[in-house]
Amino acid sequence: MKAIILPQPPLILVVDDDRMNRDLLQVMLSAEGFVVVTAASGEEALAAIAIRPPDLILLDVLMPGMNGHEVTRRVKGNLATKNIPVIMVTALDDRDARLFGLGAGAEDFLTKPLDRVELCMRVRNMLRLKASSDQALVRRDDSMGMVSHELRNVLSGLMLGAVLLESEGTDTIEGQRIVDAARLMQRQGKRMGRLIEDLVDVVRIDAGKLALKPSRCDAQVLLNDAVETCAASAAEKGVSLGAESVAGGLEADFDRERLLQVLTNLIGNALKFTPSGGSITLQATATAGDLCLAVNDTGVGIPADLLGAVFERFRQVDTDERGLGLGLYICRCIVDSHGGRIWAESVQGVKTTFHVAIPGLGAALASGVLVVPALDLPGVHPVSEAPAAVALGAGSGRILVVDDDQAICETLAKFLTRQGFTTEWTTSPAEAIEMLTTST
């Protein structure tokens, strides 16, 4: 068993409106080698967490303004901070008070007046548990990275083979069957790619590292991009897909790629339950300072008792067994990371509308939402960047294919040769460099 390594030195945030209590805790913990920062209110605590997330929070319950329970709910409701352990410090020594705090998400309680030995033991134990959990997440992330890489390699080879097979189709009945089979393989391959991306996103969410890169964006462009991305799937299903014009233009601060992911997931979900001849319409409006997006469909609807549950992890509508039930959960997490909210309204047999409300970036940061770096998983890249997604016409020139998977090299080289390119391949980076330096 590997030793559990604590962060050196651990950073502890002490939150208490009483300065004497803050100073006392700082003295006790600093003497044990901890780095201590303090906050005099719940609002000040959230601001400190946004700047530098601590390893543990010691939190007073009864404070004016935002109390300890509300601070805990916000910390635990934020993907970037949910794994930070919270120990509540309170003068309330009754069962109901403890249960209320645990319900808000606190991991432990300490009752005033504090005993220094007990305080330090509980803090060390909690930090040890967090370190153990963090190390387990790192091991899982490493494993997921390797598995995703291998799955991606295999999938890329299959997709390239399907594209190559389609190019060999003829106008005969048998040739058309080959083309149809190749296109089916490509559709299923894209679906598998989306499932892989969903699993990778769940890993990022669990690690509190779902990346956000907000910038000033045009809502109309976002809607149009979502329609364009899903147009082929809608046409294949016989469903009308479009976006209403945004009157006067509408710009807001958000992560364009992540919100595009939300919209395409919602459209994909709507396509599952909208019969041929139905319609899906996208809207964008400004309401009370929020960017409000809506995806309306004329599908079968969602039972009233499932409207909230559809956003849960691995939850599917009873009549649908496709996918893993992660798409809407990921949508909720992306929207939550923006400091927004997502909900559904439905009339069974008539229509369903998914609503997304995103505040301005300043409001999101003020509420304690963190913009965090992406979690790098080796060999993982979005479906849109998969080699099989590249379409080439008649070409000329020389191309060197380098990949550690020989099957991918051979398949891609064969495909490019069919496109008119002179192609070479190798699985060795050193050999690739030599080929480039010696080529004329």
pLDDT tens by residue, 382-434? 443 334 434 445 556 889 999 888 878 888 888 888 878 888 999 999 898 98
The pLDDT-based confidence of 361 (bands split at 50, 70, 90) is very low
Residue 152, pLDDT > 60, answer yes
Closest CA to 336 of 154, 150, 208, 181: 208
Give pLDDT tens digits for 117-151.
999 999 999 998 888 877 777 777 777 777 777 78
pLDDT at res. 323: 46
* CA nearest neighbour of 137 among 56, 53, 50, 208: 208
Beta strands per DSSP E along 359-436: 398-402, 422-426
Predicted local distance difference test score (pLDDT) of residue 378: 41
The rounded distance, in Å, linking the Cα atoms of 140 and 186 is 30
Residue 16: pLDDT above 70?
Answer: yes
Residue type at 18 in one-letter notation: D
* pLDDT above 50 (res 295): yes
* Domain range enclosing 248: 215-366
pLDDT tens, position by position, 218-272: 999 999 999 998 998 899 899 999 999 887 778 888 989 899 999 999 999 899 8
Average pLDDT over residues 346-358: 92
Please tell me which residue, 382 or 349, carries the higher pLDDT value: 349
Q: Going by C-beta distance under 8 Å and a sequence separation of 6 or more, which residues neighbour residue 169?
A: 175, 176, 178, 179, 182
| C-beta neighbour count of 170 within 10 angstroms | 10
CATH number, domain at 334?
A: 3.30.565.10
Distance CA 341, CA 139 (A): 32
Where does the pLDDT of residue 87 fall: very low under 50, low under 70, confident under 90, or very high at 90 and above?
A: very high
Q: Decide if 43 is inside a domain.
A: yes
Range in 129-133, 281-285, 315-319, 423-427 with the lowest mean pLDDT: 315-319
Question: For all residues of the chain together, what is the average pLDDT?
Answer: 81
- Are the C-beta atoms of 163 and 185 separated by less than 8 Å? no
Average pLDDT over residues 28-51: 92
Distance CA 41, CA 175 (A): 72
Q: Is the pLDDT of residue 114 over 90?
A: no
CA 390 to chain centre: 25
pLDDT confidence bin for 284, thresholds 50/70/90: very high
* Model pLDDT for residues 178-204, shown as the tens digit of each residue: 888 888 888 888 778 777 777 777 777
My answer on whether 345 and 321 are in the same domain is yes
Does the residue 171 lie in any domain? yes
Return the pLDDT at 395.
Answer: 57
Q: Are both 188 and 307 inside the same structural domain? A: no
Q: What is the pLDDT of residue 94?
A: 66
Phi, psi of 345 (to 5 degrees): -130, 140
For 275, how many CA atoms within 13 A lie in the half-sphere containing its CB?
5
Interstrand relation of 422-426 and 398-402 (parallel, antiparallel or unpaired)? parallel
Kindly give, in sequence order, each residue whose CB lies less than 8 Å from that of residue 71, ignoring residues fewer than 6 positions away: 15, 42, 45, 46, 59
pLDDT of residue 317: 56
Write down the pLDDT at residue 132.
83
The band of 321, judged by pLDDT with boundaries at 50, 70 and 90, is very low
Which of 48-57, 146-155, 202-211 is the most confident on average?
48-57
For residue 333, is it within any domain? yes
Q: Which two tokens stand for residue 55?
A: 């390893």
H/E stretch holding 286 reads strand 279-287
Q: Within this chain, do residues 225 and 312 fall inside the same structural domain, yes or no?
A: yes
CB atoms closer than 10 angstroms to residue 321: 8
What was the pLDDT predicted at 367?
Answer: 38
Whether 122 maps to a domain, the answer reads no
Please indicate, yes or no, whether residues 229 and 243 belong to a single structural domain of this protein.
yes
The 3-state DSSP composition of the chain as helix, strand, coil percent (nearest 5) reads 50, 20, 35
Residue 3, in any domain of the structure: no
- Same domain as 236, residue 291: yes
CA 317 distance to own-chain centroid? 21
Residues 325 and 425 in one domain: no
Question: Between 79 and 184, whose confidence is greater?
Answer: 184
Same domain, residue pair 284 and 312: yes
186 with 245, same domain: the answer is no
Q: Is residue 121 included in any domain, yes or no?
A: no
Mean pLDDT calculated for residue range 47-76: 90
Same domain, yes or no: 354 and 262 = yes
Residue 396 and residue 383 share a domain: no
276, 370 contact by CB (below 8 A): no
On the question of pLDDT at 17 being above 50, the answer is yes
Asked if residue 124 is part of any domain, the answer here is no
- Residues 59-86 have a mean pLDDT of 88
Inside any domain, residue 345: yes
Res. 81: pLDDT tops 80? yes
> Tell me, what's the pLDDT at 304?
85
Nearest to 128 by CA among 56, 207, 58, 29: 56
d(CA 17, CA 59): 10
Residue 338 has pLDDT above 60, yes or no: yes
What the block records as the tokens of 309 is 């549950």
Which residue type is seen at 88? M
Whether residues 265 and 351 fall in one domain: yes
- Return the pLDDT at 169: 77
Q: Which whole number is the average pLDDT over 70-94?
A: 84
Tell me which of 127-141, 292-306, 371-385 is least confident.
371-385
Could you give the CA distance from residue 426 to residue 434 in angstroms, rounded to a whole number? Answer: 11
- What pLDDT is recorded for position 176? 86
Dump the DSSP string for 69-115: HHHHHHHHTSTTTTTS-EEEEES--SHHHHHHHHHHT--EEEESSPP
Residues 101 and 233 in one domain: no
pTM of the model: 0.57
Rounded Cα distance between 234 and 295, Å, is 14
> From CA 211, how far away is CA 373, in angstroms rounded?
5
Quote the number of domains for the chain: 4
**Taking the mean position of all CA atoms in its chain, how far away is CA 182?**
31
Pairing mode of beta strands 290-297, 351-358: antiparallel
